[in-house]
Amino acid sequence: MRGFLHRLVRDRENDAFSPVATREDVHYCYRLLLHRPPDAEGWRFYTGLVDKGDLSVERLVASFVDSQEYRTRRAREHQTVALMLDGFTLHVRPDDKEVGAGLAESHQYEPHVTHELKNLLRDGAVFVDVGANVGYFTMLAASLVGTAGRVIAFEPNADNCELIRMSIEANGFRNVVLHPFAVSDADSEFALDVTGSNGALREERRAGDIIVRSVVFDVCVSGEPRIDIIKMDIEGFEGRALQGMKQTIARHRPVLFSEFAPDDLVRRSRVQPYEYLKQLVDLGYDLFVLPVLGQRSTVPQTPEDIVEAYSRTRASHLDVVGYPH
């Protein structure tokens, strides 16, 4: 399977002539694109072409992708499904391999973060979800803060915003405000690289890019009388978003949840991982890593501790919570 995918990606990236397809490639097309074993008639047809040596991998894949069976399967998987979770309904797409598919299967999402957050969400609290994705934490918070509370969500991916609006309506929530924007240190525009429901901001533009608007957090929430919790999960843009929310942090002293992805912080925020954590400490926060397994430390961890913890893990990121002094 890896060989087939590597060849296909390599050929598409290099725009090179695709090598001659093999019987193994036919098998993987059935498995990966149609999600089933070959039928006898189809197998005879494709292997007959392969055995003649005049069918490229590119043409083989195109034949499967253009088939009615593949299109029907993709359309069916892209339809939304409503999941009944712990106290709320969430709309997801089963073909979203990043978030939706896992939620549909396990009915859980980042349980270590969920556990910490649920301990803080009280009736009347105000929660801000920066990088809401399909809205799991937005709906969780809305279900717990009650009508006296408030949830403010930021999400630049239009497809995700559609799902969030569907979930708001399904739950009958009147305490959620959705801003269809990214959060940065400037009111600007960025390209959005989308993988499933995940999206990463990029400054350089290319033809065909999805362009989204960013807002400065301090400006957008300046009229809010209360903010208790801010969660940031924006694929390495946390460093730039932080620069635009320092006034809010100083005013409200919210609990901060942040994804900590060192490589993405360097690439997208142009900040060193240690420096990002040091900024949080300098803003008056005690930091704790939220481990996927086990309990978090009861003693605050230094930026050095957290960078070292990341170096020992094989994960792409850690989840960190900051409590104000």
Q: Average pLDDT across each block of 10 residues of the chain; the chain has 325 residues. List them in order.
A: 45 56 94 93 94 90 93 83 96 94 95 97 98 98 98 97 98 98 97 95 94 98 97 98 98 98 97 98 98 95 98 95 97
pLDDT at 51: 93
Judge if 67 and 117 occupy the same domain: no
Judge if 83 and 67 occupy the same domain: no
pLDDT at 73: 83
pLDDT at 237: 98
pLDDT at 76: 80
Judge if 65 and 124 occupy the same domain: no
Q: Which residue is it, tokens 């292997």?
A: 47
Judge if 97 and 9 occupy the same domain: no
Question: C-alpha distances in angstroms, 29 versus 4, 50, 59, 150?
Answer: 9, 13, 11, 48
Judge if 105 and 246 occupy the same domain: yes
Judge if 131 and 46 occupy the same domain: no
Judge if 296 and 317 occupy the same domain: yes
Q: How many domains does the chain have?
A: 2
pLDDT at 78: 79
pLDDT at 18: 57
Last residue of a domain, one of 76, 102, 137: 76
Beta strands in the chain (DSSP E): 81-84, 89-92, 126-130, 150-154, 176-179, 182-184, 188-195, 198-202, 210-216, 229-232, 255-260, 285-289, 318-324
DSSP 8-state code for residue 158: H
Q: Residue 147 belongs to what domain range?
A: 79-324
Judge if 67 and 105 occupy the same domain: no
Judge if 56 and 135 occupy the same domain: no
pLDDT at 13: 45
| Strand 210-216 with 188-195, pairing | antiparallel
CATH of the domain at 128: 3.40.50.150
Last residue of a domain, one of 47, 76, 105: 76
Judge if 189 and 55 occupy the same domain: no
Last residue of a domain, one of 76, 109, 133: 76
Instruction: Return d(Cα 91, Cα 168) in angstroms, integer.
Output: 9
Instruction: Return d(Cα 18, Cα 12) in angstroms, integer.
Output: 8
Question: What spatial distance separates the first Cα and last Cα of the chain, rounded to whole Å?
Answer: 52
Judge if 27 and 138 occupy the same domain: no
pLDDT at 66: 93
Which contacts of 210-213 are long-range, i.e. CB under 8 A and separated by 24 or more positions?
Answer: 212/156, 212/157, 212/181, 212/182, 213/156, 213/181, 213/182, 213/187, 213/188, 213/189
pTM reported for the whole predicted model:
0.82
Phi, psi torsion values for 116, nearest 5 degrees:
-65, -40
Instruction: Return d(Cα 229, Cα 175) in angstroms, integer.
Output: 15
Judge if 202 and 301 occupy the same domain: yes
What residue type is 229 in one-letter code?
A: I
Nearest-5° Cα angle at 50, 48 to 53: 115
pLDDT at 15: 46
pLDDT at 3: 44
pLDDT at 12: 44
